[in-house]
């Protein structure tokens, strides 16, 4: 079989297998066309002259250069319908790509800081999530993420303000500018969230050093690490992650766009997988980074020698590392096994 047909067979398999996505920021799914139409709707002056001009601005040289545009973009989200539309568009994409379960981060402070309250965005999200459950069969969990460039007191207030919506939220997370904002800054708020019964995740080892991954594990007691690709620099950490099967929610196109790697052929996801770590593929901020979940897989197929076995393992890991009940995990894993008997 030619290399081309082998690759297209792998891509078909990626489309066909039921998948979970565990690292996705809903604000990062805001497509330029929706940003443009919401700006028109609310009479907001964008510093862009067209939808294409917005798209062309998506060239980043590090995490901060992306975050600046990402927070600016989110300013067009003003009313409940906007948040509905944003969430619904992503969940339709999940349906298209055969993502059967997704655990979605949202950044309350990005909105509350500009006067948009929980009572605006949560009902918008809820309406789209309910509709996706019944009409598309996609299941959704939400992860409330704290912005780490803000203070821990602000994170604590953010968790308290979410109280009327706790039943909609599965986990809390930590995102935004990593360097100089170590996990240790958020120990108290993670301890409170843990005692309220929330699952815990944190971005670490994206731009930050392996030490931040250790802190997320030892001080924040997280269930998963978001990104974590720099863990490979610390052999003791690698051994720990393998022994305890701490999931790393890796985001290949994000790492490429934010210059964490120079070329996709240098991405370490296959090394992490071969070293026995629980890694899986995610899209992070697909509108900004050039692709949703399947496009992330396709980029790996194009640039790394990914086998069918690797793909099945990565996808099975997405199910195993999710916060779904064990019975549901078992059902999806069995379905994957039926499609791809090993
Ligand atoms: N917020 C949205 N995307 C992010 C990323 N890749 N890292 C940190 N914070 C983020
Ligand atoms: Zn992220």
Residue nearest (by alpha carbon) to ligand 1 atom 10: 176
Question: What's the 145 CA to ligand 2 centre distance in angstroms?
Answer: 10
Q: Is the CB of 25 under 6 A from ligand 1?
A: yes
Instruction: Indicate whether 342 pLDDT > 80.
Output: no
CA-closest residue to ligand 1 atom 1: 176
Please tell me if the CB atom of residue 254 comes closer than 6 angstroms to any atom of ligand 1: yes
Nearest CA to ligand 1 atom 9: 176
Task: Grade residue 6 by pLDDT with cuts at 50, 70 and 90.
Answer: confident
Mutate to test the pocket of ligand 1, among 22, 23, 63 (most ligand atoms within 8 A of CB): 63
Residue among 201, 203, 212 whose CB has most ligand 1 atoms within 8 A, to mutate: 203
Average pLDDT over residues 24-53: 98
Q: In sequence order, which ranges of 75-151 are alpha helices (DSSP H)?
A: 80-96, 108-112, 118-136
Catalytic positions are 206
Of 83, 75, 70, nearest to 46 by C-alpha is 75
DSSP string of 11-75, one letter each residue: HHHHHHS-EEEEEEEGGGG--HHHHHHHHHHTT---S-SSHHHHHHT---SSHHHHHHHHHHHHT
Residue 1 pLDDT class (50, 70, 90 cuts): confident
Report the distance separating Cα 21 and Cα 231, nearest Å.
21
Q: Is the pLDDT of residue 306 over 90?
A: yes
Instruction: Report the chain's mean pLDDT, rounded to a whole number.
Output: 98
Element (H, E) at 204: strand 199-204
CA 278 – CA 262 distance, rounded (Å): 24
pLDDT band at 305 (very low <50, low <70, confident <90, very high): confident
- Reference 30, options 46, 17, 15, 49; nearest CA is 46
Q: Is 103 touching ligand 1 by the criterion CB < 6 Å?
A: no
Count the neighbouring beta carbons within 10 Å of the beta carbon of residue 244. 10
Whether the CB of 23 sits within 6 Å of ligand 1 = no
State the closest ligand 1 atom to the C-alpha of 251, by its place in the atom list counted from 1: 6
pLDDT above 90 for 2: no
pLDDT at 5 > cutoff 90: no
Q: Is the pLDDT of residue 77 over 90?
A: yes
- Candidate of 29, 30, 206, 208 to mutate for ligand 1, largest count of ligand atoms within 8 Å of Cβ: 206
Q: What is the whole-number distance in angstroms between the Cα of residue 71 and the centre of ligand 2?
A: 14
Q: Whose CA is nearest to atom 6 of ligand 1?
A: 284
Distance (Å) from CA 147 to ligand 2 centroid: 11
Q: Does residue 281 carry a pLDDT above 80?
A: yes
Laid out side by side, the sheet with 199-204 consists of 19-25, 99-106, 139-147, 169-175, 199-204, 224-227, 248-250, 279-281
Position in ligand 1 atom list of the atom nearest CA 254:
6
Average pLDDT over residues 65-75: 98
Identify the band that residue 4 occupies on the pLDDT scale cut at 50, 70 and 90.
confident
| pLDDT given at position 211 | 98
- pLDDT digits 0-9 by tens, 188-200: 999 999 999 999 9
pLDDT in tens, 201-244: 999 999 999 999 999 999 999 999 999 999 999 999 999 999 99
Which two three-digit tokens encode residue 255?
């790492």
Top pLDDT among 305 and 85 is at 85
- Beta strand 248-250 with 279-281 is parallel
């Amino acid at each position: 079989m030619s290399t081309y047909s082998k690759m297209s067979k792998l891509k078909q398999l990626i489309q066909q297998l039921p998948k979970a996505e565990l690292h996705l920021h809903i604000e990062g799914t805001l497509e330029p066309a929706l940003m443009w139409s919401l700006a028109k709707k609310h009479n907001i002056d964008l510093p862009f002259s067209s939808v294409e001009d917005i798209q062309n601005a998506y060239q980043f040289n590090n995490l901060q250069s992306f975050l600046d545009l990402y927070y600016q973009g989110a300013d067009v989200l003003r009313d409940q319908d906007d948040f509905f539309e944003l969430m619904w568009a992503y969940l339709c994409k999940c349906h298209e790509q055969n993502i059967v379960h997704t655990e979605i981060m949202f950044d309350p402070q990005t909105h509350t800081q500009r006067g948009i309250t929980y009572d605006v965005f949560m009902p918008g999200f809820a309406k789209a999530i309910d509709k996706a459950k019944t009409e598309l069969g996609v299941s959704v969990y939400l992860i409330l993420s704290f912005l780490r460039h803000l203070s821990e007191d602000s994170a604590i207030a953010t968790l308290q303000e979410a109280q009327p919506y706790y039943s909609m939220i599965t986990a809390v997370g930590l995102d935004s500018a990593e360097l100089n904002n170590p996990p240790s800054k958020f120990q108290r708020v993670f301890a409170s969230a843990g005692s309220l019964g929330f699952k815990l995740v944190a971005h670490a080892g994206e731009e930050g050093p392996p030490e931040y991954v250790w802190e997320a594990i030892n001080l924040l007691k997280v269930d998963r690490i978001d990104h974590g690709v720099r863990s490979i620099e610390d052999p003791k950490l690698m051994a720990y992650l393998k022994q305890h099967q701490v999931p790393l929610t890796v985001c290949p196109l994000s790492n490429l766009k934010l210059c964490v790697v120079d070329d996709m052929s240098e991405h370490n996801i296959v090394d992490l997988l071969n070293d026995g770590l629980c890694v899986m593929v995610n899209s992070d901020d697909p509108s900004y980074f050039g692709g949703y979940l399947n496009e992330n897989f396709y980029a790996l197929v194009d640039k790394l020698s990914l086998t069918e076995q690797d793909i099945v393992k990565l996808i099975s890991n997405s199910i195993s590392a999710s916060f779904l009940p064990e019975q549901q995990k078992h059902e999806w894993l069995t379905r994957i096994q039926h499609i791809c008997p090993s």
